[in-house]
Structure formats: C-alpha cells, structure tokens
C-alpha cells in the first residue's frame, strides 16, 4: 500500500477557540484559506472521504476549529476561512481572533497549509496573512487549489506570476504544492510533506 495515502481519518471534535481544545499529543497540521478556495473539498480528497469535511455552495461555513485524527499519527486541523464578504465585521473579528489564538498558542502546531486559488491573481488578504505568519515564525506552505480548472501551462504561468509578486517582499519563496480536489493532484505530495516534516522535527 502507498505509504503516502491516508488510511484512517476520524473526526475528533470542534472547538470554539484554542482555549477549549483538548491536548491530543500529536503533531497538528492546519488548513486555512479564503472562503470558497476549496478547503473542504481538498481535505476530503486528501483523506479519501467525500463527506469528512462538509462542503457547501455557500462559503464561510466553518466557524470553529475542527480536528481530525489521521492514521493515529497526526491531527488535521480545519480552520475557518477568511475574506467572506457577507460576514459581519464583528463576526470577521471573532473568527480572526479564533484563528490567531490557535496559531499563536498551539504548541503542537507543525505547519499551516495556506490555500490559494490558482486561477486568480495575488490577493492582499492572502499576502497579508502569509506575512503575518512569517512575522510570527509560524511555518506555512502554499497549496495552490483548483488546478483542474485550467490547462497545465496556464497553471504554470499563473504560479510564475504569483511568485513574481511574492518576490517583491520575500527573499526566499515559501514552499508550494499544486493540488486539485477533483483530479487528486498533489495528494501524495501533501502527505509526503507531512510525514517528512514529522521525521525532521
């Protein structure tokens, strides 16, 4: 059996904030991105379960910190998305506090996967979030999503443009993986990264 495929994915619990979270004693890998970036679909693809993370035609459905135990070896943490225009200012502030509280205070957090829709140009909200992670020494990896929606050459060109924008501020570019929840692109690469990062820490 392929060692870079998930064999077991179990929902553990949802929490309103990091203070309410249980200590699972396993390394945690968090997933976050703008609303409608395809986060739930990608999580389901990685874990091989269609309805593990609830997908919806309406973005902004994740309101809590959702934890899944993967292969009894690591925790997948589904964080609320950001940037949903129809969310009130108060709710956006609450969700931002929830996310930053988790990222700044969770000792078992190994890495954050920042999901970026490969079809759209760089957005300030994503760039600002990645800069915030860097300033707070939070390791992260960019996952470009929805690669199946474009021809491979266009995907390559869009990533090149994205990296040009990043290079305006970044001396060394963040690690990146191209993914597609529809075609399974990047599935093994993400799991390989998780397993290898555990081995080096």
Residue-wise pLDDT tens digits, 27-71: 999 999 998 899 999 999 999 987 777 655 444 456 899 999 999
Residue 49 pLDDT: 85
| Band of pLDDT at residue 90, cut at 50, 70 and 90 | low
The tens digit of pLDDT for each residue in 101-159 reads 999 999 999 999 999 999 999 999 999 999 999 999 999 999 999 999 999 999 999 99
CATH superfamily placement of domain 9-200: P-loop containing nucleotide triphosphate hydrolases (3.40.50.300)
Give the residue ranges of DSSP H helices in 106-186: 124-135, 152-166
**Residue predicted with more confidence, 79 or 54:** 79
Checking if the pLDDT of 167 tops 80, the result is yes
- What residue ranges do the domains of the chain occupy? 9-200
Residue among 96, 37, 49 at smallest CA distance from 76: 49
In this predicted structure, what is the pLDDT of residue 60? Answer: 47
Calculate mean pLDDT across residues 11-29. Answer: 95
User: pLDDT value at position 194?
Assistant: 96
Burial readout 93-118 (b: 16 or more C-beta within 10 A, e: otherwise): ebbeebbeebbeebeebbbbbbbbbb
Beta bridge partners of 114: 32, 142
Tell me how far apart the alpha carbons of residues 95 and 60 are, in angstroms, rounded to a whole number.
10
């Amino acid at each position: 059996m392929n060692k870079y495929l998930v064999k077991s994915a179990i929902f553990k619990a949802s929490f309103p904030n990091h203070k309410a979270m249980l200590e699972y004693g396993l390394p945690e890998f968090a997933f976050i991105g703008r609303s409608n970036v395809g986060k739930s679909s990608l999580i389901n693809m990685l874990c091989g379960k269609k309805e593990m993370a609830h997908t919806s035609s309406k973005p902004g459905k994740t309101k809590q910190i959702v934890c899944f135990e993967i292969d009894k070896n690591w925790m997948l943490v589904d964080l609320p998305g950001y940037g949903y225009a129809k969310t009130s200012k108060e709710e956006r502030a609450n969700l931002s506090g929830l996310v930053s509280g988790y990222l700044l205070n969770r000792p078992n957090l190994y890495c954050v996967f920042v999901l970026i829709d490969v079809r759209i140009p760089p957005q300030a909200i994503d760039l600002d979030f990645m800069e915030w992670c860097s300033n707070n020494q939070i390791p992260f990896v960019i996952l470009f999503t929805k690669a199946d929606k474009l021809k491979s050459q266009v995907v390559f060109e869009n990533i090149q443009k994205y990296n040009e924008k990043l290079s305006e501020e970044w001396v060394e570019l963040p690690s990146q993986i191209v993914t597609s929840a529809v075609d399974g692109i990047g599935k093994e690469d993400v799991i390989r990264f998780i397993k290898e990062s555990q081995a080096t820490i």
